[in-house]
Amino acid sequence: MTYQLSKTKAKILLFFTEVFFLLLLLASKKIPDNLSNDFYCLSAFTFFVLLFQFLITFPIKIYSDFFLPQKFRLYELTFFNFLLKELTNFLVTTILVLPFIFFLLKTPNFWWLFSSLTLSLSLLINALILQNLALKGSKLENELSQKIAVFCKKHSLPFQNIFLAENQTEVFDASLIGTGKNKKIFLNSNLLEKLSEQEIFSVLAHEFGHLKKNHNTKKFLLETLLTLLSFASASLILSLFLPLASTKIIILIFLLLTVFSFLMEIISNLFSQKFELEADTFASQTNGKQNLNSALNKLLQPENTNFWLDLLFSHSPNLEKRLKNLETNQRKTL
């Protein structure tokens, strides 16, 4: 079984585990209905709901986010660092829930709007600041960098935004992070060692394709729209069940948002696959189809994945789809 297929199955299992846990809470008669509509009481209640959910789903996360990367040798990660990452995510989630409770109590008719905007703001902060802090590197300065500079100048591409990643992995990786003036392209040394010069140029052209077509900005706007629709839909469905005890309302909202976020991820993945193919097309037009074809065959492995799982749960098209896309675009230009 491939990494992508294993990861996808774990993700689906995680989703159904979370839904089952929240349904049990919703149906439980032991959850207090007469809890005061006090911000601190509801915050404490929400914290314990999140804590129990974290503990129940933690074994699945160990498998999907720690064991699988080690098994497929994607990157080295100590269990301590993995645990620290998960605890940080839990803490961030808990903090982001506090404004949601505040808006639910103070503006019950518009909590969905203010909560979705708060979450969108956190996504923007992540794109502008946190990603740059997480991925560090130095500007590319070697013999190859001079050739890349010539290539970038020839195609009017911003060479000054290319960095060599410090946190190396065994993955042959290139990535575009940030938005606006903070956009940066990171390459790791494994990729530079694996590919020829022309293949490296094609990989860079692919990343510049993302930059030229503003894919990161489009992803942010898409996520903002989907977040707004998810919260609005949750509010609409919630109104059908009112009146409910405050504790039940919180659990029901968590349940609805869990389902909607799962659907959001599927929609986001479909757009991500589209963006990857568009970037491939740009790279093919910039540096030739053959060079990108050769690079993809070196960097990606053919995978026997389930068609629907691959279509809906993978953020990047598989090798077969990407090569087929290059062939299709070449025939269109003939």
230-254 mean pLDDT: 88
81 part of a folded domain: yes
Q: Has residue 57 got a pLDDT over 60?
A: yes
Going from the C-alpha of 201 to that of each of 95, 164, 290, the distances in angstroms are 42, 14, 12
Counting the structural domains of the chain, the total is: 1
CB 192 within 8 A of CB 219: no
Q: Quick one: tokens of 83?
A: 């645990």
85: its two tokens: 């990452």
Domain contains 141: no
pLDDT in tens, 13-46: 999 999 999 999 999 888 877 666 788 989 999 9
Q: For residue 178, how far is the Cα from the chain centroid?
A: 13
Is 65 within the bounds of a domain?
yes
Q: How far apart are CA 155 and CA 98, in angstroms?
A: 48
Domain that holds residue 245: 3-136+211-333
Give dist(CA 169, CA 171) in Å, integer: 5
Name which residue leads in pLDDT, 168 or 96. Answer: 96
Instruction: List pLDDT tens digits, range 104-152.
Output: 889 988 999 999 999 888 877 776 665 555 566 777 777 888 888 888 8
3-class SS of residue 140: coil
Q: How far is Cα 97 from Cα 253, in angstroms, rounded to an integer?
A: 11
pLDDT (tens digit per residue) in 180-219:
566 677 888 778 888 899 999 999 899 889 888 989 889 9
Tell me whether residue 191 is in a domain.
no
The secondary structure of 49-86 as a DSSP string is: HHHHHHHHHHHHHIIIIIIHHHHTTS----HHHHHHHH
Domain membership flag for residue 255: yes
CB of 187 within 8 A of CB of 169? no
Mean pLDDT of the chain: 85
Cross-strand pairs, 187 = 164, 174
Whether 222 maps to a domain, the answer reads: yes
Q: What is the pLDDT of residue 183?
A: 66
- What is the per-residue pLDDT for 159? 65
Within 8 A by CB and 6+ apart from 292, the residues are 199, 202, 205, 206, 280, 283, 284, 326
Domain assignment of residue 296, yes or no: yes
Spatial distance between the Cα atoms of 180 and 158, rounded to a whole number of angstroms = 13
Query: Greatest CA span in the chain, whole angstroms?
Result: 71
Q: Tell me if 102 is assigned to some domain.
A: yes
Q: For the packed helices 197-212 and 215-239, what is the interaxial angle rounded to 10 degrees?
A: 50
pLDDT at 6: 87
Dihedral sign computed on CA atoms, order 205, 206, 211, 212: positive
pLDDT given at position 230: 95
The span from the CA of 207 to the CA of 161, in Å, is: 11
Least confident range from 29-33, 68-72, 92-96, 308-312: namely 308-312
Please report the pLDDT score of residue 2 as a whole number: 77
